[in-house]
Amino acid sequence: MTTGSTPGRTAPSLPRTRMAAAQTERPELIVADGWRDYALLDCGDGMKQERWGPHTLVRPDPQIIWPRHGREPGAAWETWDGFYHRSDKGGGQWEFRRPLPESWTIRYEPLDLTLKIRPTSFKHTGLFPEQAVNWDWFSARIAAARRAGREVHVLNLFGYTGAASVAAAKAGAAVCHVDAAEGEMVPRERGVERAGRRSGALHRRRLPQVRPPGAEARPALRRRDHGSADLRPGQLG
C-alpha cells in the first residue's frame, strides 16, 4: 500500500517487525476475481462498461477519473445493450439497444449464490460486485465458527439489496437485515437464493431513515416481518 506523507509532519515510527506484519496482513488491493458472470470490460472518462451475465451495460462512475486506454477523450462506447445517460438536471436514464428483461440473475459460483440484477432509474444494478471479497472473507469465518459449534449472529445495517445478508445466512449465520428502503430488499429477495429464508436464518427489517436529532420526531419501526430483535432507530444510536 502506498502512503502519502503530510509536509511538516513526522511519520510515526513503528518497530520494523510490526511494519512488516502490517504490510503482509493488508494487501494493496484485493481483487474480486471469483466472478464468471460479471466482468469489468473497460473503464475511463467517468464511465464503466460491465458484463452482467448476458447483458453489457455502460454507466457513469465518478471515481473513474482516468482516460480510456487507447481511445481519444470522448470516444463513443460501441458495445453495449444498456447505456445510462446522465442528465444535466441530475439523475439520468437508460437507453436500451434491444429489449432487456426488467431483471435477470447472475451466479457467484464460489459461494453458490444466485443474485438478481436490475438496472434502476438511478444507474445502480442492485449489486456491488467488488463486495464479493467481503462475502468470501466472512463466509469462511462464519462457516469455521459453525463447524466449531458456535452460533453466529449478523446484524447487517445499510444492507441494501441483501447480497451480503444472504451470503452470511448461507454460510450458517442468523442474519438480521436492516435497510431504510423497502424497495431495496424486495426485488432482491425474490431473486436470490432462498436458503436463508427457508432455514429461518434470515430476517428482514425495514428501518425508516434516521433523521438528525431535533430535525423531526424519529419514526418508529413500521414493519415487523419475522419477529427477531426489536430494532428502533433510537436503539441504534
Which is it for strands 47-52 and 55-60: parallel, antiparallel or unpaired? Answer: antiparallel
Report if residue 115 touches ligand SAM, rule: CB under 6 A: no
Choose which of 19, 158, 200, 220 interacts with ligand SAM (CB under 6 A).
158
Specify the residue for cell string 429477495.
189
Choose which of 30, 181, 220, 229 interacts with ligand SAM (CB under 6 A).
181
**207 neighbors 179 (Cβ within 8 angstroms):** yes
Report if residue 120 touches ligand SAM, rule: CB under 6 A: no
CB-based burial label for 86 (10 Å; 0-12, 13-18, 19+):
middle
Report if residue 163 touches ligand SAM, rule: CB under 6 A: yes
CB-CB neighbours of 21 under 10 Å: 12
Report if residue 140 touches ligand SAM, rule: CB under 6 A: no
Q: For ligand SAM, which stretch binds (CB under 6 A), given 10-18, 101-109, 157-165, 195-203?
A: 157-165
Report if residue 209 touches ligand SAM, rule: CB under 6 A: yes
Rg of the chain over all Cα atoms, to the nearest angstrom: 21
Q: For ligand SAM, which stretch binds (CB under 6 A), given 14-22, 45-53, 76-84, 204-212?
A: 204-212
Note the Cα 35 to chain centre separation in Å: 14
Name the grid cell of 86.
446522465
Report if residue 207 touches ligand SAM, rule: CB under 6 A: yes
Report if residue 160 touches ligand SAM, rule: CB under 6 A: yes
Pick the closest to residue 160 from 137, 189, 194 (CA basis): 189
Report if residue 184 touches ligand SAM, rule: CB under 6 A: yes
Q: Shortest Cβ distance from residue 156 to ligand SAM (Å)?
A: 8
Which is it for strands 113-117 and 104-108: parallel, antiparallel or unpaired? Answer: antiparallel
The side-by-side arrangement of strands in the sheet containing 202-206 is 153-156, 174-179, 202-206
Choose which of 77, 104, 128, 138 interacts with ligand SAM (CB under 6 A).
128
Choose which of 179, 188, 189, 203 interacts with ligand SAM (CB under 6 A).
179
Pick the closest to residue 222 from 207, 212, 233 (CA basis): 207
Report if residue 186 touches ligand SAM, rule: CB under 6 A: no
Interface positions with ligand SAM (CB under 6 A): 128, 131, 158, 160, 163-164, 179-181, 184, 207, 209-210
